[in-house]
Chains A and B, each alone.
Chain A
Amino acid sequence: MNFHDTEHEASYRQKAINFLEQHAERKVIGQPGISSCLSPQALLKAAKEWQALKADHDFACISWSKEWGGPGGSAIESVIFAQEEQQFDIPEGIFQVSLGVCMPSIIKLGSEELKNRFVKPALRGEEIWCQLFSEPAAGSDLAGIRTRAESTSSGWVVNGQKVWTSNAHLSDFGLLLTRTDPTVVKHSGLTMFWVDMQTPGIEVRPINQISGQSGFNEVYFTDVKIPDSQRISDVGGGWKAALGTLATERLAIGGAKGADCRELVALASQLPCDTGTVLKDPQFRQKLADWYVNSEGINLTRMRALTTLSRGGTPGPEMSIAKLVMAEQLQQLCDYAMDLQAEFGIINSPDISEQAAVFQKGWLKAPGSRIAGGTDEILMNVIAERVLGMPGEIRVDKNRPFNELPVGI
């Protein structure tokens, strides 16, 4: 076992570091990054510029083939770049859905024409995509969506509502899952399209999150006309297409970012308590050890998956644990970090709070991290059923037409 880069990997890493050092600043513990300092508009602009710069230097979507405007690098190279990039203070959080979730589906499902039109501008950050899947009545049970697409002589007409659509307000296009046939069992009546977010009849309404930000939206569809050429699955084949999207989504999300052990140690080494600083408090040290083992465990599990890749294999299911572990940890660790600060923990201000309020921010973000991209419960079901081979749920919705299923709120 070793962690050595091969000669090629080492020179690639050096190239990445050179690029990053030339164009960005390294993160500093205890100081707010630019992603949390900029206004939403300024962040968007900065993120687009950063993405274009990366594309110019062959560091955007590194493993995408040349055919689609990527540099055609290896999976290892893209991980090496990500490892280095995360140490720099760069504008984050804009392209995750666009490039991590939507484009892989377009590349997999779209026609040549579609790919020629869309992949390159998305890769350069010139166009942004959103994922129009979840609805008020269908999240975990995604196949329960109700947004209707009806076939007419001139194409499709879409009516309904999507919700929790990250970045819809910034997006140019969307990947849209609809119901085209409510009279068959629910998984069989779905169809996937792409849509231009400027199409008449689409209305985006921001939702205020508990963090105070508005990263996601409601998206209303009222008699939205979509030509059949924008259909990217078979009619009734939307579920299979969506499963592919969800699989990439879980990989793209990976571990939840935010405060972790490093920030906790920085905090504890400055907080006074009876034993000197909190860092010397035995109870603190026991908890720190537990969390550290998890974080390292996830990092190292990623190394194992990489090893499989570099040996030419397909990584197993190990990485499915990353989001489950890290989102839960984010919540607990931030909560504890605030307890350590006593009453002061309640203050939420980058200027006044300890460590530029990373713990307060993480605490507000964590509940969403535990839900986005599959809730804790759904992820545990997935592990138990797909990895450990447990039988599926007893289902009451499998053999009945969608329009005869019981509905709740």
Chain B
Amino acid sequence: MDFDFTEDQKHLQQEARRFLSANCGTARVRQVLDEPDTPFDAELWTAMADLGWQGAILPEAYGGSGMGATDLCAIAEELGRAVNPTPFASSVYAFAEAVNLLGSEQQKSRILPHIASGHQIGCIATAEGAGRPDLECAFVDSSITGRKVPVTDGDVADWAIALANDSHGESLYLIELKRHGVSTSTLPTLDPTRSCAEIKFAGASAAPLGEAGSGKALLQKIHDRAAVFVAFEQLGGAEAALATAQDYAQQRYAFGRAIGSFQAVKHKLARIYVANQIARSNCYFGAWALESQSEELPRAAAAARIAATRAFQLAASEMIEIFGGIGTTWETDCHLFYRRAKQLSLFLGPINMWKERLAAEIEKQWAHADSHGGNL
């Protein structure tokens, strides 16, 4: 039984925390929040690349450091804690992982070194409007046409992976964004510390990624992997929100006593603690499934995703309640967490979709045995 970060991973995590508290304090996050023309913190992005984070788990052959998935999870928790204003999630957890998993040798060696060095950014373009409309993007005559909206980091990215209809059904495509036939426009969102765009493809050249006709299943694989890392970011955010609320509850006085001495406040904090512990345990299971390439990854990823989403959203919203009026102002940091919790809860698909997915996995795991009166 060894179900925790190793000493080395804990050390890595401490280093990451130290680096981020020096280079990604909330003042820095606020610069991105307050300046509409700053889509992300480019200086921080470069500093992260100097540490090798963008290529942490990519193979050394493609400019990566060849670390394990759990190592990146440890870093992700810290990035979440710092509410990092960068396209890391899109470029590293989703795009780079997808290319590394599905790409041809040529695609990998052409693209991944630039992602690992931070010189290029990738994103994943799946949504086509509100709800879950039918897929309209189409690949015809070796080019792609259609619209993806919203695309997280689509306006700053060099590459996108998109799902499109073709003669095989639905397939994944790699598209270079700063090319003819692609236009992007930045969209206002609830979390201005992260960037978001609408992308229009009008005959943009695109290369198939992975097996033709299997786009949906492959996309799910990409989502499963990314969801584990994102869950660690959510966990980090939830822990930071709890720590901030805890601190405030001890310092703020009302009725002649610290508000943390009121039971209603204590119980809110206790509930957050419980949610965070449950999230942490599920996240670790996700990390294990990812690193060990377990068949249980779909179930583990969904559980981590659900638990961590729940924890971060609870912590971020209750934190504002605990702060009182000051928590609702632009000046305090509460809303950084509130915004990011929502942003991350929608990135990679909403929570009800993940719950459905988990239910399907549970069904696979159990329903068969049960219908035969099977043993525990």
Give the chain A neighbours of B279 by CB distance below 8 A. Answer: 297
B375 lies within 8 A of chain A by Cβ? yes
Chain B residue at minimum C-beta to C-beta distance from A30: B373
Question: Complex formed: what's the CA distance from A150 to B200 in Å?
Answer: 87
A406 lies within 8 A of chain B by Cβ? no
Question: Complex formed: what's the CA distance from A87 to B375 in Å?
Answer: 9
A383 contacts B274, C-beta separation under 8 Å: yes
B284 contacts A300, C-beta separation under 8 Å: yes
Tell me whether A297 and B307 are in contact in the complex, defined as CB-CB below 8 angstroms, given that A1-B70, A303-B3, A388-B273 are known contacts: yes
Question: Complex formed: what's the CA distance from A310 to B374 in Å?
Answer: 33
Chain A residue at minimum C-beta to C-beta distance from B374: A29
**Smallest Cβ distance from A350 to chain B, in angstroms?**
16
Q: Which of B95-103, B176-184, B353-361 forms part of the interface with chain A?
A: B353-361
Tell me whether A293 and B278 are in contact in the complex, defined as CB-CB below 8 angstroms, given that A29-B374, A265-B367 are known contacts: yes
Give the chain A neighbours of B355 by CB distance below 8 A. Answer: 285-286, 289-290
Residues 1-54 of B at the A interface (beta carbon under 8 Å): 1-6
Give the chain B neighbours of A269 by CB distance below 8 A. Answer: 367, 370-371
A390 lies within 8 A of chain B by Cβ? yes
A384 lies within 8 A of chain B by Cβ? yes
Question: Complex formed: what's the CA distance from A292 to B273 in Å?
Answer: 18
Tell me whether A384 and B270 are in contact in the complex, defined as CB-CB below 8 angstroms, given that A261-B362, A269-B367, A290-B306 are known contacts: yes
Chain A residue at minimum C-beta to C-beta distance from B263: A381
A297 contacts B3, C-beta separation under 8 Å: no
Residues 289-330 of A, flagged 1 when their CB comes within 8 A of B and 0 if not, give: 110111011111101101110110000001001001100000
B109 lies within 8 A of chain A by Cβ? no
Question: Complex formed: what's the CA distance from A274 to B205 in Å?
Answer: 47
**Among A5, A265, A300, which residue has its beta carbon within 8 angstroms of that of B363?**
A265
Give the chain A neighbours of B70 by CB distance below 8 A. Answer: 1
B370 contacts A26, C-beta separation under 8 Å: no
B285 lies within 8 A of chain A by Cβ? yes
**Among A3, A297, A390, which residue has its beta carbon within 8 angstroms of that of B282?**
A297
Question: Complex formed: what's the CA distance from A310 to B363 in Å?
Answer: 33
Give the chain B neighbours of A30 by CB distance below 8 A. Answer: 370, 373
Give the chain B neighbours of A393 by CB distance below 8 A. Answer: 261, 263
Tell me whether A282 and B370 are in contact in the complex, defined as CB-CB below 8 angstroms, given that A2-B288, A318-B277 are known contacts: no
Give the chain B neighbours of A56 by CB distance below 8 A. Answer: none
B287 contacts A1, C-beta separation under 8 Å: yes
A1 contacts B4, C-beta separation under 8 Å: yes
**Among A282, A293, A383, which residue has its beta carbon within 8 angstroms of that of B303?**
A293
A262 contacts B366, C-beta separation under 8 Å: yes
A28 lies within 8 A of chain B by Cβ? yes
Residues 279-317 of B at the A interface (beta carbon under 8 Å): 279-282, 284-285, 287-288, 291-292, 302-303, 306-307, 310
**Smallest Cβ distance from A322 to chain B, in angstroms?**
10
B120 lies within 8 A of chain A by Cβ? no
**Among B263, B352, B375, which residue has its beta carbon within 8 angstroms of that of A26?**
B375
Question: Complex formed: what's the CA distance from A230 to B242 in Å?
Answer: 47
Tell me whether A391 and B250 are in contact in the complex, defined as CB-CB below 8 angstroms, given that A265-B366, A297-B279 are known contacts: yes
Max chain A C-beta neighbours (<10 A), residue from B270, B271, B354:
B270
**Among B1, B261, B358, which residue has its beta carbon within 8 angstroms of that of A306?**
B1
Question: Complex formed: what's the CA distance from A310 to B6 in Å?
Answer: 13
Residue total for B at the interface (Cβ-Cβ under 8 A): 58
B307 contacts A286, C-beta separation under 8 Å: no
Residues 236-258 of A at the B interface (beta carbon under 8 Å): none
B303 contacts A391, C-beta separation under 8 Å: no
**Smallest Cβ distance from B203 to chain A, in angstroms?**
39
Give the chain B neighbours of A290 by CB distance below 8 A. Answer: 306, 310, 355
B288 contacts A279, C-beta separation under 8 Å: no
**Smallest Cβ distance from A82 to chain B, in angstroms?**
13
Give the chain B neighbours of A409 by CB distance below 8 A. Answer: none
Question: Complex formed: what's the CA distance from A392 to B70 in Å?
Answer: 38
Q: For chains A and B in complex, what number of residue pairs have CB atoms within 8 angstroms?
A: 193
Question: Complex formed: what's the CA distance from A5 to B5 in Å?
Answer: 17
**Smallest Cβ distance from B343 to chain A, in angstroms?**
21
Question: Complex formed: what's the CA distance from A26 to B265 in Å?
Answer: 45
A137 lies within 8 A of chain B by Cβ? no
B1 contacts A307, C-beta separation under 8 Å: yes
A377 contacts B4, C-beta separation under 8 Å: no
Max chain B C-beta neighbours (<10 A), residue from A285, A289, A387, A392:
A289
Question: Complex formed: what's the CA distance from A3 to B274 in Å?
Answer: 23
B258 lies within 8 A of chain A by Cβ? yes
Chain A residue at minimum C-beta to C-beta distance from B288: A1
Question: Complex formed: what's the CA distance from A399 to B2 in Å?
Answer: 48
Question: Complex formed: what's the CA distance from A291 to B359 in Å?
Answer: 10
B266 lies within 8 A of chain A by Cβ? yes
Give the chain B neighbours of A106 by CB distance below 8 A. Answer: none
**Among B265, B274, B285, B362, which residue has its beta carbon within 8 angstroms of that of A321?**
B274
B110 lies within 8 A of chain A by Cβ? no
A404 lies within 8 A of chain B by Cβ? no
Residues 136-177 of B at the A interface (beta carbon under 8 Å): none
B303 contacts A292, C-beta separation under 8 Å: yes
Give the chain B neighbours of A381 by CB distance below 8 A. Answer: 263, 266-267, 270
Chain A residue at minimum C-beta to C-beta distance from B366: A265
Question: Complex formed: what's the CA distance from A205 to B292 in Å?
Answer: 56
Max chain A C-beta neighbours (<10 A), residue from B4, B5, B70, B303:
B4
Question: Complex formed: what's the CA distance from A392 to B263 in Å?
Answer: 10
Residues 243-275 of B at the A interface (beta carbon under 8 Å): 246, 249-250, 257-258, 260-261, 263, 265-267, 269-271, 273-274
**Among A27, A270, A308, A321, which residue has its beta carbon within 8 angstroms of that of B277?**
A321
A46 lies within 8 A of chain B by Cβ? no
Give the chain B neighbours of A262 by CB distance below 8 A. Answer: 366, 370, 376
Give the chain B neighbours of A308 by CB distance below 8 A. Answer: 4
A387 contacts B358, C-beta separation under 8 Å: no
Tell me whether A279 and B363 are in contact in the complex, defined as CB-CB below 8 angstroms, given that A298-B278, A300-B285, A301-B277 are known contacts: yes
B269 contacts A388, C-beta separation under 8 Å: yes
Question: Complex formed: what's the CA distance from A297 to B307 in Å?
Answer: 8
A389 contacts B370, C-beta separation under 8 Å: no
A289 contacts B359, C-beta separation under 8 Å: yes
Give the chain A neighbours of B370 by CB distance below 8 A. Answer: 29-30, 262, 265-266, 269
A-B contact pairs, 20 of them (CB 8 A): A1-B287, A1-B291, A26-B376, A28-B374, A279-B363, A286-B355, A286-B359, A289-B354, A290-B310, A293-B306, A293-B358, A296-B281, A296-B282, A296-B285, A297-B307, A321-B273, A321-B278, A380-B271, A388-B269, A390-B246
Given A300-B281, A306-B1, A380-B270; 14 other pairs, CB 8 A cutoff: A2-B1, A28-B375, A269-B367, A289-B302, A290-B306, A296-B285, A303-B3, A318-B277, A321-B277, A324-B274, A383-B269, A384-B266, A388-B273, A393-B261
* B-binding residues in A (CB < 8 A): 1-6, 9, 26-30, 76, 87, 261-262, 265-266, 269-270, 279, 282, 284-286, 288-290, 292-294, 296-301, 303-304, 306-308, 310-311, 318, 321, 324-325, 377, 379-381, 383-385, 387-394
